[in-house]
Structure 1
């Protein structure tokens, strides 16, 4: 006789648990109330004004943030914390500080009485993915034809000067241009505070250093430009010429370091010549010498503008000398 059938209970199965998404830490944890807005990929600038109001720029011009204003004590604590995240101190002895933050942002803060109202904070946020010319085409900054002209300038090792007013996208365009450099070349960048994020496998960067409380130990842009000449650069890039370093840059570009690039602040095409002459004067260059150096060094000028919050490439042309001798964009 076969043995009687005995039912066997199925093995116990543990209940399924939902898979939890990994927690992604914020890029800028030290920004306090600004952190959620800094995580928005559309935001390029976050600002705190003297009245404690918070503002953002997400490509449409400045917009107020829907958060209560900060009182002076809270604004000061936030400013001190932001600057400390970049490794520097903000206090009454050093009331204005510019730093680079971990995660890719540049922060500037000012305390009263240097600020005539309350504490001020200005934060420029870099993209998580570096800009390419195709990205700038899609954003409306430039057309496909303009992008191709810029690619050709990089291929032909033209020296390029990007100019325009504050917030017009000079750093973004400069990074996108340098991303077009062949991967077998070495790019050396020099910046006051490092902002350039270039999609290229061989980029080395130098950043200025402020003097300590005793007034020693500072390293300025001019000194760093001289250092780059000993670093075998295929492309020399100065993030922004603000002073006497313009003489070092023009000298380098005139001595065989072709294919370089830099940026300069100017309000419009007519103001570029006066701006270059003013920078040259800081370096002790006579106007005639500055004009001759600039004409020999700069092959292509790219002028950017900003209108109603939108960034736009306004002109591409050579640097030329007008009938009155002044420099202008051709």
Structure 2
């Protein structure tokens, strides 16, 4: 039986350069996908594609992950696909490095986990970027907020408020942040810093910095905290950290406390009330005590925009808040939305 992931050149046409051992040309990551998988990745409504080992393929079009009929692949085939996808992103996945995250040409983000870390077989998650860049008007049309809410958000951008966009995974934090930054004045210089570059902004002056993982010898890594320090030397009008997940929160807060208005970042949190505990945990990683972190956040962050995803899978702005101090500790005051 032919292997479903083999891609053969047709008619002697030249084949684009590929990573040694790969079956896919680097310039066209969609060309080598199995047809049923490519069809879903190429669908403009699809936001995520999931392969759960040999047990199934699931697709999310914004209304929750739904199983796809007609998909057949055994564990060896799914593992081969994971190895190929990760290699296309310039990294390597094997038993010694079983969890890897990469970005492919076109902005497709691939995360793969091999067994036994993933007990049910190789798991692949693909985040598929929108083909067209969504602005605030597009998100309003999609139901993320109403017209009054859109005007409120646009006003925060125009006022150069420092924003923190929060929410659980998959709630649209990156999508909303990109739309907010796209509403910034055309003359402003935006520098974004991400672990894996996902932010695509409709703006003429956008500089993207992406962290680099260490090589097999453990050398050459550049983390987000280092990139924040480098970005400060690039004279940004708006400094953005795509997601605060560690010690880089210290550098971000320091930067926003030195006159860098209009900055932003995203943070995983289940609700506005959970934001202080989440920031305190990150601050501890950076050596910041609760009191020092509270003062830094209160001074640096103007507004917190929280996103949620309903039972129907629809993403929406669930609340707006402002940091405040409460007996020396960080708290968040929930405000009327859109109000």
Partner of 1:318: 322
Could you tell me whether the CA contact under 8 Å between 1:99 and 1:108 is conserved in 2?
Answer: yes
Q: Distance in 1 between matches of 2:50 and 2:95?
A: 21
SS in 2 for 1:29: coil
Pair 1:298-2:315 in alignment: no
The answer to whether residue 40 in structure 2 is matched with residue 37 in structure 1 is: yes
Distance 1:183 1:93, change over 3 A: same
Tell me, in whole angstroms, the C-alpha distance in 1 between the residues paired with 2:69 and 2:327: 53
1:153 is paired with a residue of what secondary structure? helix
d(CA) in 1 for partners of 2:203, 2:62: 26
Q: Which residue of 1 aligns with 2:246?
A: 243
Q: Secondary structure at the match of 1:128?
A: coil
The aligned runs of 1:228-267 (5 Å cut-off) are 228-267=231-270
Bigger Rg, which one:
1
CA RMSD of aligned residues (A): 1.5
Equivalence for 1:163: 166
In structure 2, the residue matched to 1:56 is 59
How far residue 78 of structure 1 moved from its aligned partner, in angstroms, is 1.0
How far off its partner does 1:103 sit?
1.3
Among residues 203, 207, 212, which one is paired with 2:206 in the alignment? 203
* Shift in Å, 1:82: 1.2
- 1:27 positional shift: 6.2
Q: How does 1:27-176 map onto structure 2 within 5 Å?
A: 28-32=30-34, 33-176=36-179
Residue 323 of structure 1: CA displacement? 6.1
Runs of 4+ aligned structure 1 residues displaced above 4 Å come to none
Aligned residue pairs total: 306
- 2:28 and 2:218 map into 1 onto residues whose CA distance is 36
Counterpart position of 2:331: 327
Q: Is the 8 A contact 1:171 1:263 kept in 2?
A: yes
The alpha-carbon deviation at position 125 of structure 1 amounts to: 0.6
Structure 1: state its 5+ residue gaps. 1-24
- 2: CA distance between counterparts of 1:270 and 1:83? 37
**Displacement of 1:71:** 0.7
For residue 284 of structure 2, what is the aligned residue in structure 1? 281
Structure 1 residue 34, shift from structure 2 partner: 1.6
Secondary structure of the corresponding residue to residue 275 of structure 1:
helix
- Does the CA contact (< 8 Å) of 1:30 and 1:82 recur in 2? no
CA drift of 1:228 comes to 0.2
Give me the whole-angstrom Cα distance separating, in 2, the residues matched to 1:42 and 1:100.
20
CA distance in 2, matches of 1:306, 1:173: 13
Cα distance, 1:115 vs structure 2:
1.3
Contact 1:225-1:249 within 8 A present in 2 as well: yes
Residue of structure 1 in register with 2:6 after alignment: none
Q: 1:4-39, CA deviations, whole angstroms, 9 ceiling, x for partnerless residues?
A: xxxxxxxxxxxxxxxxxxxxx976224334211001
Map of 1:11 onto structure 2: none
Q: Is the 8 A contact 2:154 2:183 kept in 1?
A: yes
